[in-house]
Structure 1
Amino acid sequence: MGLTENQNEILFIIYASISALSLAGSIFICIVYLSFKDLQIFQFKLVTYLALVDAGTSLSFFLPSYLDDIICQAQAFLISFFTLSGVLWTSAIAHALYKSAIREYKDISIYHKPYILYACGLALLASIAPFITESYGNADSWCWVRTDKDRAQETILRLLIYYIPLWLVIPFNLIVYLKVIVKINREISNINEEEFTRRQLIRKLLLYPLILIICQTPVTINRIHDYFDDDPEFALVLISGVGICINGLLNAIIYGCTESVKLAVASWWRGNGKTRSTRVSFLSDESNKMDELNTF
């Protein structure tokens, strides 16, 4: 027994409302990137790419997929592509930070095209695969890879095109940010006047991988439940969808609202049109380590 029509309508309204907030956050990041030249650096370009795919995820939840099979197929493809691409972009950002902060590469923009091929190319291939196996359909309150045709095959497909990449990216991101935190503590813990800023930065670095864990754990649990029980739990489906829909808003807040962005917007608000310049290198100079790391 699936969800009732009334439950689907309620979930659609909730998901669309939260997605609207995420879409607004993603649009804000894109506007900021386009409006301030000092922020048009490679690091923030990666954050803007993440905002764009988050916007795509948000838009896909505006589709009332429970009304029509064509809309359902469209939503399934869009969710499959944009959610996986978003996950992969977070790992690209983590990799860029690793190369800059740990390996101290001077120019990480050499990874621009590889990042796009990785985050968008793999997501595109993954989102096409269910069309080949005719596996897209209703998956609780939104459309994705269904499991009512061939449970074993379609469960494997779900794992391959989303959950295995997701739970490989999460520990990778966590390890990278922990390495950066260790380096921050080792290299700049002796700067007393920067202690408060250092602690703020460390807390923020810990939030990056936590976003995925917080937003994606409920839907992972829900899919495990789906495997063992055909009858969806309304509360679990609700929390799962909310986690996916709010992911874009949290990414915009944590990844996008850096000190550089705040200063740029504040400068624009005051009307002087000046923004602080931000450099690409990380941890290269004792006097500006905090400013450079705050680019992310």
Structure 2
Amino acid sequence: MHYVQFNPILSMHPNYHQQCIQFYIKRWTAIIAFILYQSCVNNQKEETLSLYKYLFFGFCIPFSISIYPFFTHDYGFAGISCWIKEDYINNSYRSTIIRYINFYIPLIIIILYNSIIYIIIICKLYGISEQQTKFIYKMISYPLILIICWIFTAFNRTYEEISQQQQIWLLYLSKALSGLMGFFNYIGYGFTPQVRESCSFYCCANKSKTVQIELELKQQQNRDLTQNTQETNSRNSVDSQRDSIQGDLSFIAGLY
């Protein structure tokens, strides 16, 4: 019977890349929240910080934090996955401290920061107009998705450290939700009415011709509306040019 030997060198690289990617995603949600706050609350349309400062906060800091366990050989086999390895012999608290510094404390800080910022923005914009109200519903999904996907991971780790026991359902729930962040982002931002109409068209075309006819009528109405808008803009442009030319001719005639 053959056993696969655990190679710590090979496990370090995916651990490092996974740590970096997770850090990048969470920090850039905080950057988006900061930019929206400056634009919606402080009415600052220009860039408050330079691009290099955003890149430093979004990439350089996560890179520095994630690469530290790589050189101290703290990446390794940790239960059901490879991450910060357990060290029960030399220092049992070392892995816990590194995990909280590298992941859980920044995660909780970013969740709290995003939640506070979006609450302030919602209180500022709520009820002003229907368009801004729809924009508010979109903004709520930013911190909500982050909380849903990662709050159970923080609960699971904290529970394990305090009780020295493992709840298998909480472990599976945390692993499942942490991998669904991209799916929830698609539902929140990418599943637009146009995408839903297209999905309904392709899924229900063989079952109902009525849906197909309605979608074709809507698409035709959208094309007609776009064409009418373009024609109106073209006429307005021609009228504006004609008025400008007539004004110039009147000015020249007045000179003579």
> What TM-score do the two structures reach when normalised by structure 2?
0.66
Pairwise CA distance, 1:258 = 6.7
Aligned 8 A contact 1:140 1:232 in 2: no
What is the aligned partner in structure 2 of residue 57 from structure 1? none
Aligned 8 A contact 2:150 2:177 in 1: yes
What is the aligned partner in structure 1 of residue 148 from structure 2? 214
1:155 to 73, 96, 102: 96
What is the aligned partner in structure 2 of residue 174 from structure 1? 115
Q: Which moved more, 1:249-258 or 1:143-152?
A: 249-258
Find the residue that maps to 1:108 and give its secondary structure: coil
Matches within 5 A, 1:1-296: 68-108=7-47, 110-149=49-88, 150-185=91-126, 188=128, 191=129, 194=130, 197-228=131-162, 232-255=166-189
CA distance in 1, matches of 2:141, 2:5: 34
Q: Give the paired residue count.
A: 197
Pairwise CA distance, 1:214 = 0.8
Find the residue that maps to 1:143 and give its secondary structure: strand
Find the residue that maps to 2:21 and give its secondary structure: helix
Bigger-Rg structure (1/2):
2
Find the residue that maps to 2:77 and give its secondary structure: strand
- Cα distance, 1:132–1:226 mapped onto 2, change above 3 Å: farther
CA distance in 1, matches of 2:182, 2:6: 25
Find the residue that maps to 1:148 and give its secondary structure: coil
Aligned 8 A contact 1:80 1:126 in 2: no
- Cα distance, 1:136–1:242 mapped onto 2, change above 3 Å: same
Pairwise CA distance, 1:136 = 0.9
Pairwise CA distance, 1:72 = 2.3
Alignment RMSD: 3.2
CA distance in 1, matches of 2:178, 2:135: 26
Aligned 8 A contact 1:145 1:154 in 2: yes
Residue identity opposite 1:206 in structure 2: I
- Cα distance, 1:83–1:101 mapped onto 2, change above 3 Å: same
CA displacement, residues 205-259 of structure 1 (integer Å, 9 cap, x when unaligned): 2221111111111111221233246664432222111122111222344355678
CA distance in 1, matches of 2:186, 2:42: 27
Residue identity opposite 1:251 in structure 2: N
Aligned 8 A contact 2:125 2:133 in 1: no
> What TM-score do the two structures reach when normalised by structure 1?
0.58
What is the aligned partner in structure 1 of residue 232 from structure 2? none
Q: Which moved more, 1:84-93 or 1:216-225?
A: 216-225
Find the residue that maps to 2:45 and give its secondary structure: coil
CA distance in 2, matches of 1:255, 1:123: 25
Aligned 8 A contact 1:140 1:237 in 2: no
- Cα distance, 1:240–1:209 mapped onto 2, change above 3 Å: same
CA displacement, residues 17-52 of structure 1 (integer Å, 9 cap, x when unaligned): xxxxxxxxxxxxxxxxxxxxxxxxxxxxxxxxxxxx
CA distance in 2, matches of 1:73, 1:168: 26
Alignment identity in percent? Answer: 29
The answer for unaligned runs of 5 or more in structure 2 is 199-218, 227-256
Pairwise CA distance, 1:110 = 4.8
The answer for unaligned runs of 5 or more in structure 1 is 1-64, 275-296
Residue identity opposite 2:38 in structure 1: K
CA displacement, residues 37-72 of structure 1 (integer Å, 9 cap, x when unaligned): xxxxxxxxxxxxxxxxxxxxxxxxxxxx99653442
Aligned 8 A contact 1:91 1:173 in 2: yes
Aligned 8 A contact 1:177 1:206 in 2: yes
Find the residue that maps to 2:179 and give its secondary structure: helix
